[in-house]
Structure 1
Amino acid sequence: MNTTPSQLTIGVVAPLTGRLAPLGKPLTYVLKTLAPQLEHVRNGSRRHDVTVAVRDSRSDPAAARQAVRDLVATDEAHVVLTMAGTQVLPAVADACEELGVPCLSTTFPWQAYVHSRGATPGHSFQWTYHFAWGLDDIATVFARMWEQTGVRHATVGCLWNDELQGGLLRHEEYGFAPVTSARGHTLVDLGSYREPATDLQEQVGRMREHGADIVTSAATAADLALFHRQARQAGLRPRLITCSRWLTYPHTHTTSVPGVHAELADARVATLVYWSPGHPYRSSLDGTTCADLAHAYQQDTGESWLQPLGLAHALVETAHRALSTADDPTDRAAVARAIAGSTFSTIAGTLDWKQGPTPNIALLRLSGGQWHQGPKGPRLAIVTNADTPEVPVTGELLPT
């Protein structure tokens, strides 16, 4: 029986610097806390020593591609992990596909993941795998929260940018319209805008023109605060704002501008919830619960828990499992096959790449939440759990 150790490398591309750096904190934290458990993996009768190599994407697609090249050529990575960035994440995945190294990623709607890489649903990538939710899942959760305001058939103003995210949200097949129209809601496009926005009065005017008292968006915290302030100055106050993307984080975490915090606290923004301390899942590595992980993060960093924390942990769990179950973990193709055949429970829920909505995708289910202002800052309350009945509701939806 051969028990001689051999070396494996988990490569990581994370935004350590640049505008996405706040989004990189959960992954770097998880890597640090799980370091003792990542020192080796056991695959059958063999024990393999593991090195974790982290490269900075610098929040830039070109730098991210170079980071992958360095991980492959210099660090000899057997699998690459990444998360965060509508341009950076696809750049990492594409570089991995080109260089023939397995890649695991998350925190990006799967339609955006596919389309940003020049493909369409149904396309099968050879090396790259992703777990997340769909734009249709976001639309469903948002529509449920619109309906919780007491409006059965809402006219909803859509504040969407002129980039990839906005284009996909508007997509007649994959965007919001098919889901929300079927539920009786009317979407009104308030007009695209370039990020960062400097003036959204035109969009406010269209909101007034169409009588939309609910707004949905995927804006940054600063842009949404600008829109809300200009709407108030025009005498308008949205009954509810639903916002994905940056507003899945506490607005106090994504910007240091005090005026933004005050504006968004007043807006009571509702958002999607893919992970929280109340989710009843455990780590496949050591049984850590969601509550345990969130509490440890807050204790160790002094900052609020973040939704990507659970997904970062699940990334590492998946890499560990793939290296533990691959026919030959030193063979990148075998590691890719191990990911493709995986179905297992993680701290982010069950990941199943065999039953995804499209090849290479494992689907996560969504709850709906709303930011409620508390004495210690924004608190994310779970207000709808129709697709996640195991996740407890922790508050009521509060229209403005």
Structure 2
Amino acid sequence: MRKTESEGGRALTVGVVVARTGRLARLGDPLAFAMSLLGPELRRVRNGGRDHELRLVDRDSRSSAEGARQAVRELVEEEGARIVLTLAGTEVLPAVADACEEAGVPCVSSTFPWQVYYYGRGGTAERPFRWTYHFCWGLDDIAETFADLWEAAGGPAGPIGCLWNDGPQGAWSRHAERGFLPAARARGHRLVDPAGYREPATDFGAHLAAFRAEGTDIVTSAATGADLALFRRQAAERGARPRLITCSRWLAYPPSVTEAGERPAQANVATLVYWSPNHPYRSSIDGTSAAELAENYEQSTGRQWLQPLGLAYALFEVAVHALATADDPAQAASVAEALGRARLETIAGPLDWTAGPVPNIATVRLSGGQWQPGRRHAYELSVVTNRQVDGLPVDGDLLPLE
């Protein structure tokens, strides 16, 4: 294991598992950017009057669970990581967390509904994880946000059609106790849920028939962009015109106009807003605002800002806070205890691990948004409902799907 010393105290290494190659490379981009942005600034961390050298070291998950486990092994055994950070990937993120749990190294992650992260990995309120911590919204929060959107589109009178797959996204969405379904029903909505479809989808005829039979004109989904495009195309071919689609998966990323100017699948689709340049949040590291971070990303990369950027940046804020407040930042148990009692304001909003909803989890607040034709970019994410986030302006009306 690598060990170094600084003038003030022992050097501390923050390990980062990021998808730089493979199918999740685009999902890894916000984390890679945040690391490159903060690397020159996070040279030292002060703990108890002593300065410690701080190193940020990453390994590529290669967009696979095995690659993620290998990345954790290398960060811990070769680099001496005191804490590991990661985000994104239905299989990759849990693999990182499980590998850290096995290695006895603190881990912080995000962008994964907390019930899936926690219960999906076998955690319980009585037997929480020892080393792994997470911040995100829950499936119930998604249902609450989507219910706000459904009601803004015309009230709760009609049934909601569920376009859910037969994989983890669909299974957790329809979970009777911990999923999306019970929270939506508690808001007074009736959901029409045909059998889950296999990804990638080839035909949504059965779903469209079920929706038509029930008089459904609002659809909710966790589909990929490709499957969402197929659904919209087949719906149009059959004369079905949903007035609203809400979708929670892949919609964090800006849609791009397809060849021949064809409208992208995400156009006018409503989704979650968990971070934007207009959020009233600032970095606990240097006071950078959400707007400044988004502008920095666009100027540096030439690409449109991404929602996960704020959460990726906040991972480093949490790591610095834990290392700065741990009784002994060189001891894994001490860093884990610091995470368990962490409460801080970040560029992703307030995070509080002492408040639950279960041990090891802090929650992120959600608003409702919609991808609409923009002024600066082809499509921009407009905030259309903001009940849960104080100080976040509504900057658009909910538009019909078309």
Normalized against structure 1, the TM-score is what? 0.95
- Is residue 2:32 matched to residue 1:28? yes
Corresponding residue number in structure 1 for 2:247: 243
In structure 2, distance between residues paired with 1:224 and 1:38: 41
What runs of 5+ residues in structure 2 fail to find an aligned partner?
A: 1-5
Asked if structure 2 preserves the Cα contact closer than 8 Å seen for 1:13 and 1:81, the reply is: yes
Residues 282-335 of structure 1: per-residue CA shift (max 9 Å, x gap): 000000000000011011101110011000110000101111111111111111
Corresponding residue number in structure 2 for 1:281: 281
In structure 2, distance between residues paired with 1:154 and 1:176: 18
Asked if structure 1 preserves the Cα contact closer than 8 Å seen for 2:13 and 2:81, the reply is: yes
Q: How do residues 52-63 of structure 1 correspond to structure 2 at under 5 angstroms?
A: 52-63=56-67
Residues 34-57 of structure 1: per-residue CA shift (max 9 Å, x gap): 112211111122111111110111
Corresponding residue number in structure 2 for 1:98: 102
In structure 2, distance between residues paired with 1:122 and 1:269: 40
Corresponding residue number in structure 1 for 2:177: 173
Rate the CA distance shift 1:265–1:330 in 2: closer, same or farther, 3 A.
Answer: closer
The structural deviation recorded for 1:4 is 3.1
Residues 224-275 of structure 1: per-residue CA shift (max 9 Å, x gap): 01011101101001110000021122122xxx96489614255x10001110
Corresponding residue number in structure 1 for 2:186: 182
In structure 2, distance between residues paired with 1:264 and 1:120: 38
Corresponding residue number in structure 2 for 1:393: 394
Residues 350-370 of structure 1: per-residue CA shift (max 9 Å, x gap): 110000211100011111000
Corresponding residue number in structure 2 for 1:19: 23
In structure 2, distance between residues paired with 1:320 and 1:261: 45
Corresponding residue number in structure 2 for 1:356: 356
The structural deviation recorded for 1:199 is 2.1
| Percent of aligned positions that are identical | 57
Asked if structure 1 preserves the Cα contact closer than 8 Å seen for 2:255 and 2:264, the reply is: no
What runs of 5+ residues in structure 1 fail to find an aligned partner?
A: none
Please give the secondary structure, in 1, of the residue aligned with 2:209. Answer: helix
Corresponding residue number in structure 1 for 2:203: 199
Asked if structure 2 preserves the Cα contact closer than 8 Å seen for 1:30 and 1:313, the reply is: yes
Corresponding residue number in structure 2 for 1:373: 373
Q: Which amino acid aligns with 1:322?
A: A
Rate the CA distance shift 1:324–1:383 in 2: closer, same or farther, 3 A.
Answer: same
Rate the CA distance shift 1:383–1:35 in 2: closer, same or farther, 3 A.
Answer: same
2:136 aligned to which of 132, 137, 148: 132
The structural deviation recorded for 1:120 is 4.2
Asked if structure 2 preserves the Cα contact closer than 8 Å seen for 1:11 and 1:80, the reply is: yes
Which moves more between the two structures, 62-71 or 117-126? 117-126
Q: For the aligned residues, what is the CA RMSD?
A: 1.6
In structure 2, distance between residues paired with 1:198 and 1:276: 34
Please give the secondary structure, in 2, of the residue aligned with 1:78. Answer: strand
Corresponding residue number in structure 2 for 1:213: 217
Normalized against structure 2, the TM-score is what? 0.95
Rate the CA distance shift 1:258–1:198 in 2: closer, same or farther, 3 A.
Answer: farther
Which moves more between the two structures, 92-101 or 119-128? 119-128
Q: Runs ≥4 in structure 1, deviation > 6 angstroms? A: none
Q: How do residues 15-94 of structure 1 correspond to structure 2 at under 5 angstroms?
A: 15-94=19-98
Residues 202-245 of structure 1: per-residue CA shift (max 9 Å, x gap): 22222222221000001111110101110110100111000002
